[in-house]
Structure 1
């Protein structure tokens, strides 16, 4: 966050200044992890609708914003429930600099490489201690479910992910070549635009990357899905947002107060765990922020004015559907000056898309059910999913190489009877 309270995007890797632009040649290639033997392959033709398939299996229902968190820029700490930055458009457009520097592809993996989904689970149990974890079928991020949706719709790039059962809950975790993998060839205004047009609240010192967790039913299963929110629209917030239950201690703004509350908020009993490849640091949790309703959350994209005739929303609707994000901002620029910014309520578009895409969404629902059933019945409850762009089949493989359990043992014990 800068001196004006503007949001700092990008979560740059160390050793790279703002004045230089990342090029593909500057990012060293990390070898891909080894591939295990193929246990089964799911073909597109295997995903056809069955005669007894219920319509609701291919719709998202019972949607609920469960909780959220922000990473703190210093240390190994998260803020629960945290808060996304607020949409604060400039009164007059100014020419913005292009993005530069290096950016992590997956901040959670980079910040917590041993157990990328642990911060999500820690946020849930700290904010919703009465939740029945054993009743959850799927825990995943929007990216892993998005890749499976793209495969079902025959639009998928190559991807890999780890799948593991804890109790009866199936976890999906993206498998990258490295947890600190960087985005190559960064350019455009996808980071500098939100820095200029969104603002953190006054008490959000050092906050970054607001992550939200949605609970919903899909394919007959209860899913918890984590995703990053770009911000919220203040005009859609209830008038009493800043008081009572919606406001979790916003008064401690000094570093001393922050550390004092932090020490008291650390979850007890969760000891650091030494894994086979990386020592896992204990996540500290601070209860601070506001519960921003999902109705005000937006996703943001920037494009050149030359792309104004493209249907950007059509391209993004599958992402918005998986994350259940109701608002979309598309900002068009000419050489870095944004004169055309459109804020859209896309709830009706999401409903229409869901109805129109039923054949593809039925295939997606069948794919999820197949994977969940397969890994639950596997010998050790662990597989890897691997797909190569252009292929007809999705390979379910043995996990090989250095692979941690999806969670540290102290958390996995919460699923025990």
Structure 2
């Protein structure tokens, strides 16, 4: 199984850039409503308790990867495979990002319906998941866009002037949680000192530095759909990320930083021994789906997991161990079911018992393809239900095609043998120079917050030469950021609730939000969306809100 992110320097890409869209594609006429951004004096803010601003009851619901195989064959693997931390010897010189890159992979592979893979992944891994109590289903990106809009422009404090330490071996410095930090590094000057992570802006006097690679003010769009709400259940608001382009080609000479090159050089996908099952496909980005409660609302959020703290060897050891545990548990379930049937007069005789044992040996001893067929013959009712769901999943996804890509590509799904990897080891990865660190942290911490990513690794470079990696445990950092942004978070949550109320009252309960960064005084414009545009929910999953 190949390991590629399809950027310059890795190899030829089989993909082509998609056709740009216009901001109001699929909308009808003038705005149907405008929602003002709540101010600090808004009375609704008082109804939100400070302790409720911290995401609680966090759990990972599912994960998946896109896989691109021979013959332009697409599939989704559920649960997915995370990238492993695999740093080279430092310092290392990397070229800047150029060539093809994905902006919104789920839109590129599932045009017009970017939330469909999220929902498919959830119900493939958790067929019994009850979505009726979920208030918001969304990408992390949509939450971030609205939050930055509410927060308004914030300038970072000045960059630190103290010389920083350089090192070899992939860094290894921890900036939080009492772990060692190098002398003179930003982390060694106290939690977040000089990094500007709080978002309060301008602390520390002197010259304000422009944010690193900060986009100029621009209009943003989010599509909104309301599902369910009947029979006394709460309706769910689905926020679909929207981008003018879901991919782009970075031309030579146009500087965009080193982020993608860094990811390719410092991380590697862990295949966990499933190369044969993967058909030698190109394993793509790892997407994760978490659920948490915040501000009295329940969120289901998809985000991109950059890596895990474990190495390739550690991941493979974990995957093999967990698969063996799972197989032992399934054998116990089959034996218990057979014993229960025999006790109830089900007629499970000695021949059936021997046959069951022989089938178990066959599953263990044969190749993966034959073993899987044998497993299905002796499968428990739950396993048979899972196999049926996988079939439904494949049939549902096979109807999707890449209308925005020149070649039409069918999509299928594969149920991974590897269990869902735990949230505690997930890493967010950023790159910056010492001077751009405050701006980078100002943008990174809200991103980490909305996925509750427990680790943040920062690669520091000078002219593309990466000299050290700072490793941060984010729990304490996020708590302090929450305190600093208490009012902004309350205003943000009130705005989300009001968007939901407005769209729920509109005909068809679907709309498009348009807002402009840096112009929060203009509010959020709400447009009606045409009925002939695709919805975010596969037809066979619509009933999940009515069950």
Task: Specify the TM-score bucket, using the shorter chain as the normaliser.
Answer: 0.7 to 0.9
1:173 paired to 2:173 = no
TM-score with structure 1 setting the length: 0.83
**Pairing 1:266–2:335 present:** no
- Secondary structure, in 3 states, of the residue corresponding to 1:177? coil
| Distance (whole Å) between structure 1 residues aligned to residue 446 and residue 23 of structure 2 | 28
Query: Counterpart of 1:90?
Result: 88
Match of 2:4 in 1: 8
Gaps of 5+ in 2: 154-216, 229-234, 276-281, 328-363, 377-385
Instruction: Tell me the residue number matched to 2:467.
Output: 339
2:302 equivalent to 1:226? yes
Distance 2:534 2:220 in 1: 19
| Residue 76 of structure 2: aligned partner | 78
Residue 300 (1) aligns with residue 367 (2): no
SS, match of residue 533 in structure 2: coil
- 1:210 is paired with a residue of what secondary structure? strand
Match of 2:491? 363
CA 221–248 in structure 1, closer or farther in 2 if over 3 Å, else same:
same
C-alpha distance in 1 between matches for 2:368 and 2:426: 29
Question: Kindly tell me: are residues 164 and 150 of structure 1, through their superposed partners in 2, closer, same or farther at Cα, counting changes over 3 Å?
Answer: same
Q: CA deviation at 1:287?
A: 2.2
* Paired residues of 2:140 and 2:301 also in contact (CA < 8 A): yes
Paired with 1:354 and 1:183, the residues of 2 have a C-alpha distance of 36
CA deviation map 1:199-246 (0-9, x unaligned): 222436532100011100123111100000110102898x96642369
User: CA separation of 1:218/1:157 partners in 2, compared to 1, >3 Å: closer, same or farther?
Assistant: farther
Whole-angstrom distance in 1 between the partners of 2:372 and 2:115:
24
Cα deviation code 1:241-292 (max 9, x no counterpart): 642369879x9xx9978998999883327445589x7899454232233422
Counterpart of 2:518 (choices 382, 390, 393) is 390
Separation in 2, partners of 1:59, 1:38? 34
**Which residue of structure 2 lines up, in the alignment, with residue 244 of structure 1?**
322
CA contact (8 A) 2:59 2:290 kept: yes
Does residue 380 (structure 1) correspond to residue 508 (structure 2)? The answer is: yes
| Aligned-residue offset at 1:52 | 3.5
Structure 1 residues 198 and 111, CA, compared in 2 at 3 Å: closer, same or farther? same
Q: State the alpha-carbon separation in 2 of the partners of residues 367 and 139 from structure 1.
A: 16
Deviations 1:345-387 (A, max 9, x none): 1110101111221100000110111112222222211011001
Q: What does residue 140 of structure 1 align with? A: 138
User: Does 2:24 correspond to 1:33?
Assistant: yes
The answer to whether residue 102 in structure 2 is matched with residue 104 in structure 1 is yes
Three-state SS of the structure 1 residue aligned to 2:507 is coil
- CA deviations on 1:7-29 (whole Å, 9 max, x unpaired) are 523x45xxx88689xxxxx9975
Of 58, 64, 71, the match for 1:63: 58
> Are 1:79 and 1:289, in contact at CA under 8 Å, matched by a contact in 2?
no
Secondary structure of 1:384 counterpart: strand
Q: Cα deviation per residue 1:288-317 (whole Å; 9 max; x = unaligned)?
A: 334222111111111235535x36334311
CA distance in 2, matches of 1:357, 1:27: 37
- 2:193 corresponding residue in structure 1: none
Larger fraction in helix: 2
Name the CA shift for 1:180/1:187 in 2 (closer, same or farther; >3 Å).
closer
**What TM-score, normalized by structure 2, do the two folds share?**
0.65
Alignment of 1:153-232 (within 5 A): 153-155=151-153, 157-167=218-228, 168-180=235-247, 185=254, 187-202=256-271, 203=273, 205=275, 206-232=282-308
In 2: Cα distance, 1:90 partner to 1:349 partner:
27
Structure 1 residue 38 displacement after superposition = 1.3
- What's the C-alpha RMSD, in Å, of the aligned pairs? 3.7
C-alpha displacement of 1:166 = 1.8
Q: Is the 8 A contact 2:152 2:517 kept in 1?
A: no
Contact in 2 for aligned 1:141/1:226 (Cα 8 Å): yes
Counterpart of 1:42 in structure 2 is: 35
Unaligned stretches of 5+ in structure 1? 21-25
CA distance in 2, matches of 1:295, 1:136: 23
* Correspondence for 1:406: 536
Report the counterpart of residue 23 of structure 1 in structure 2.
none
